[in-house]
Amino acid sequence: MRNRLAVGISTLNDKTEPPNRTALTLDQATAGKTYRVLGVAGGCGVNIRLANLGIFPGQTVKVLRANRVGPVIVSAKNGKLALGRGVARQVLLTAEQDMSENAPK
């Protein structure tokens, strides 16, 4: 089992972060890009609901649609999900510049 980074905004301030990584929440993501999940904040069982659907730390998600308002559409485990904006805000992602489309899930 892998060791995992503690989830939270504190990771953004961690000075040991590799320089080319930026963390963002799903509602800030760009459509068409693929990201790796850093963590999901816990409130009201959101983290476990998303985990059951394949969104949990270490997994990749592809953002299909992220309009300025309204839910975000992502592809996780080859399934298309619409996540309400509030839910999207709970998902912390990292944009890895060298992320390619064929990265294993």
Partner 1 sequence: MSHKISVAVAGNPNSGKTTIFNALTGARQRVGNYPGVTVEKVEGYLNVDGTRLVIVDLPGTYSLTALSEDEVVARNFILNERPQVVLDVLDASNLERNLYLVVQLLELGVRPVLVLNMFDLAQQHGMDVDIPRLSELLGAPVITTVGHKRKGINELKHAILEHAGRRADSPATMISYGEDLEAEIRSLQSLLDVDEHFKQHARWFAIKLLENDEAVIETIRRRFSAQHELWDKLQRSREKLAHLYGDAPEILIADQRYGFISGLVQQVTTPGVEFRHDLSDHIDAVLTHPVLGLPIFLAMMYVVFYLTFALGQPVMNLLEHGFNLAATVISSFWPAGSDSLLRSLVVDGIIHGVGGVLVFLPNIVLLFFAIAILEHTGYMARAAFIMDRFMHKIGLHGKSFIPMLIGFGCSVPAIMATRILENKRDRLTTIMVIPLISCGARYPIYMLLIPAFFAPKLCAPILWLIYLIGIALAIIAARLLRQTLFKGDSYGMVIELPPYRMPTLRGLLIHTWQRGWMYLRKAGTIILPVSIILWAMTSFPRPSTDTLAGVTDPGQRQAIGISHSVTGKIGKGIEPVIKPLGFDWKIGTALIGALAAKEVFVAQMGIVYSLGEVDEQSGALQEILRRTYSRLTAFCIMLFCLISSPCMATFAVTRKETGTWRWPIVQFLGLTVLAYTLTLITYQVGSLVISRS
Residues near partner 1, by CB under 8 A: 1, 3-7, 39-40, 42-54, 56-59, 64-65, 67-71, 73, 75-87, 90, 102, 104-105
CB of 16 to partner 1, least distance (A): 15
What are the structure tokens assigned to 103, written together? 């990265």
CB of 8 to partner 1, least distance (A): 10
Q: Is 8 helix (H, G, I), strand (E, B) or coil?
A: coil
Spatial CA neighbour of 85 closest among 68, 99, 98: 68
Spatial CA neighbour of 60 closest among 98, 14, 86: 98
CB of 26 to partner 1, least distance (A): 12
Nearer to partner 1, 22 or 43 (CB): 43
